[in-house]
Amino acid sequence: MNKDKALEELFLAQKPQFDDSDAFMASLTKRLDAVEFIKQYQEATFRRYKMAMVVSFVVGIISGIVTVMFVLSTPADGPLFTFHTQTTFFLWLSENSRGIVAAALSLLMSFGIISIIYNVQEMMSIRKKGDGYGIVTIGRA
């Protein structure tokens, strides 16, 4: 529906002068080719976004499993890492390493989930607008 209305707006905005010259047909063909190019470009962009989201989902699942296995494989009563120094800050850091690593991983995964949701919403809003932007932009050119 949106495509039909956008094409209708394109034709109504033109108000061509019909005569025996081929200039109108050449211009119309050029603009329709440009519209088709934009459609193909948008479809390729959506395919790339979808593939990137699938890859990031798979990498997130794998990295989450590896991280959980690493945290669970270390002894529960000892720190995840030590600095072999007696400095107060490093001693506190090594004693609380499990909580710090868990908080950092939670923040990282939350950021990843939020960015994926944002990308999905952006793609959906672009998809809802349809190809009207490409048609209107070329129609005004």
Task: State residue 136's pLDDT score.
Answer: 40
Nearest CA-CA partner of 28 in 40, 9, 14: 14
Does the structure show a pLDDT above 80 at 79?
A: no
Q: Whole-model pTM?
A: 0.49
Per-residue pLDDT reduced to its tens digit, 90-114: 888 888 888 888 788 888 888 888 8
What are the residue ranges spanned by the domains of the chain?
34-135
Span 22-78, pLDDT tens digits: 777 788 888 888 888 988 888 888 888 888 878 877 887 888 788 778 777 777 777
Residue 20 DSSP one-character state:
S
